[in-house]
Structure 1
Amino acid sequence: MSAAQELFGGGVAVITGAGAGVGAGLARYAALELGMTVVLADIDSRAISALRGELEDGGARALDVPCDVRDPEALEHVAERTLAEAGPVTLLVNNAGIEQFGYLWDTPVTNWQRLVDVNISGVFHGIKAFLPRMMSEPRQSWVWNLSSVGGVCASPLQAPYIMSKHAVLALTECLHQEVELAGHAQHVHVQAVLPGAVASDIFESAGAVESGDIHAAEGHRAAMLRIKTGAMDPVDAARVFFYQAAEGEFYLRSQPFVADAMAARAEVLVRRRVPRLSQEGLVVPRTDLP
């Protein structure tokens, strides 16, 4: 039996944004490889209903709960249903997230607010709904908050997303300290998840710009989609995350280059270097705009 099976096997995992991408990969691995009961939370009710059917066909136990993480009451509802129908939570994964492409000044205000509400406030709402319940239980449990390799990088033409992932990483680091300060670190483990290139639909569904340099925004989307062609399978990423979590890592990284990005970020800060623009993967901005 692996360390991950020993720690997580037979437990209950709640995963937001479970309908696709990293969230679905985590759900498949947790349910089918570790024997966990998985609670699938996502705004896309059809996607999680289909995934629940797939997991149940594979002999796993799953519960699908439609949920908009922007709504704190929706997360409370997920927590109540989980406790009533599945039992105490072993693993909470605050995964739901969206992207936005384009120059920051071209970003629609509504897109900005939605991204902040999903990527940052959604994590907070998950913590508010579940963590007090988890701390009240003496059993071992884990909280994973999804940052990204973008949480340790600076990249143009997706500033809202990058900002949000820096925020989630800082929030998770602070939360880890607060859980220890409150005396719960022996049984509640807080960890930050930093996926690198992992296959998902986040680039296709990313927010667009309605005016300004639309060419730059859509060109960057195309560049990100090219990266997706060589991305890691979400189930393979989940296997790595569970292995690292069982080993007691705090920063769970899908690929070695994420650690390289962390080191590069540290070097920039230590040396106080000006952020440098790399042309790799970027669309050349148009010059014929007024």
Structure 2
Amino acid sequence: MSTAKELFGGGTAVITGAGSGIGAGLARYAARELGMTVVLADVDTAAIAALRAELAADGARALAAGCDVRDPAALEALAERTSAEAGPVTLLVNNAGIEQFGYLWDVPVANWDRLVAVNVSGVFHGIRAFLPRMLAEPRRSWVWNLSSVGGVTAGPLQAPYIMSKHAVLALTECLHQEVELAGHAHHVHVRAVLPGAVASRIFESAGAVDTGDTGAAEEHRAAMLRVKEQAMGPVDAARAFFDQAAAGEFYLSSQSFVRDAMAARADTLLNRRAPALVRGEFTVPAD
């Protein structure tokens, strides 16, 4: 079995949402441990500039590229710049994502539209911009799309986010089949990434509600911030994702409880039960 270093080492990784959280963890691991050139894409240009400087100080090669994944032209420009400055892409990580709390009927339409544009359309735009170039290259490459444990679960007060992660998971499973159908599965490998509890600022920056039950939305934010206290570090999560990819797995997860959630979801569907209401505090099971 090949190692992550053997498969990814020395290649180029493009990571959206690289300014913080999982994206930054993937960039740090790819650059420092695997010797990859990392293209850091994010709307937060200050964050990726700081990360680029940090990695450059370690002798790693990193490019910082301001990019809004809601804009397909921005992804096309990113693909062009990457090709010109870093060469063929070994790994595309469609990671950029945002959260939203509150009862679904209280969510502002603008917040809904923005979340769908980032979490779902942003993945599509990344695939449209990069995948044709990757298919045309004979070298082995990967596309990782960030779903979530939320992509195999259901729960109240964050329906837009959970919906979007179910959508990304389905998109990724379909894309995997399409790449095979088109005859490219021998060199382009599509993978679904399902993080569990990984430290980031996604809960702090999550959308709020300004009408209806604002208290329920903020109580849920507080509960998720307590989950963050138990979360895995993003570099450790990156190591798990790369190791599982090297082992040939399709569903890449950060913690074993994600696989437990997948089994529970399958059992619910198989037995046609209504989803059980999730109440109270959230805890992260120890591996």
| TM class, shorter-length | over 0.9
Is residue 156–residue 278 contact of structure 2 (8 Å, CA) maintained in 1?
A: no
Q: Could you give the per-residue CA deviations for residues 7-36 of structure 1, whole angstroms, max 9, x where no partner exists?
A: 000000000000000000000000001000
How far apart in 2 are the matches of 1:279 and 1:173?
Answer: 30
In 1: Cα distance, 2:113 partner to 2:197 partner? 25
Amino acid at match of 1:113: D
- Equivalent pairs counted in the alignment come to 282
Q: Could you say which residue in structure 1 is the equivalent of 2:220?
A: 220
Q: Partners of 1:32 and 1:2 in 2: how far apart?
A: 19
Offset at residue 2 of structure 1 (A): 6.6
Deviation at 1:220, TM superposition (A): 0.1
- The C-alpha deviation readout for 1:236-277, integer Å capped at 9, x for no partner, is 000000000011100000000000000000000000001111
Does residue 38 of structure 2 align to residue 31 of structure 1? no
Distance (Å, rounded) in 2 between the aligned partners of 1:61 and 1:76: 22
Name 2:44's counterpart in structure 1.
Answer: 44
Matching of residues 68-147 of structure 1 within 5 Å: 68-147=68-147
Cα distance between partner residues in 2 of 1:245 and 1:58: 25
Provide closer, same or farther for how the CA distance between residues 226 and 269 of structure 1 changes in structure 2, counting only shifts above 3 A: same
Alignment partners' CA distance in 1, 2:10 and 2:2: 13
Q: Secondary structure at the match of 2:46?
A: helix
Q: Which residue of 2 aligns with 1:182?
A: 182
Q: Distance in 1 between matches of 2:202 and 2:208?
A: 12
1:99 offset after TM fit, Å?
0.1
Counterpart position of 1:285: none
Residues 263-278 of structure 1: pairs in structure 2 closer than 5 A: 263-278=263-278
Counterpart residue number, 1:251: 251
Please name the residue that 2:59 is paired with: 59
Q: Which digits, 9 at most, give the CA deviation of each residue in 1:47-83, with x for residues without a partner?
A: 0000000000011000000000000000001100000
Distance, in Å, in 2 between the alignment partners of 1:125 and 1:39 is 16
**Displacement after TM superposition at 1:281 (Å):** 2.4
Q: Percent identity?
A: 78
1:227 maps to a residue whose letter is V
Q: What is aligned with 2:232?
A: 232
- CA–CA distance in 2 between the matches of 1:153 and 1:133? 34
Report if aligned partners of 1:220, 1:281 keep a CA contact under 8 Å in 2. no
SS of residue matched to 1:10: coil
Note the C-alpha offset of 1:3: 0.5
Conserved 8 A contact 2:26-2:234: yes
Q: Which amino acid aligns with 2:68?
A: D
Q: Secondary structure of 2:88's partner?
A: coil
Partner of 1:16: 16
AA partner of residue 96 (structure 1): A
Return the offset for 1:148: 0.1
What is the match of residue 285 of structure 2?
Answer: none
Please give the secondary structure, in 2, of the residue aligned with 1:76: helix
Contact preservation (8 Å) 1:139, 1:187: yes
TM-score (structure 2 length as normaliser):
0.97
Deviation of residue 199 (structure 1)?
0.1
| SS of residue in 1 equivalent to 2:236 | helix
Does the CA contact (< 8 Å) of 1:103 and 1:158 recur in 2?
Answer: yes
CA contact (8 A) 2:2 2:246 kept: no
3-state SS, counterpart of residue 64 of structure 1: strand
- 3-state SS of the aligned residue for 1:34? coil
Letter in 2 for 1:201: R
Q: How big is the shift at 1:280?
A: 2.9
Q: Which residue of 2 aligns with 1:287?
A: none
Structure 1: tracts of 5 or more residues without a match: 283-290
The amino acid that maps onto 1:39 is V
Q: TM-score, normalised by structure 1?
A: 0.96
Query: 1:231 corresponds to which letter in structure 2?
Result: A
Residue pairs, 1:144-159, within 5 angstroms:
144-159=144-159
CA distance in 1: counterparts of 2:281 and 2:79, whole angstroms: 41
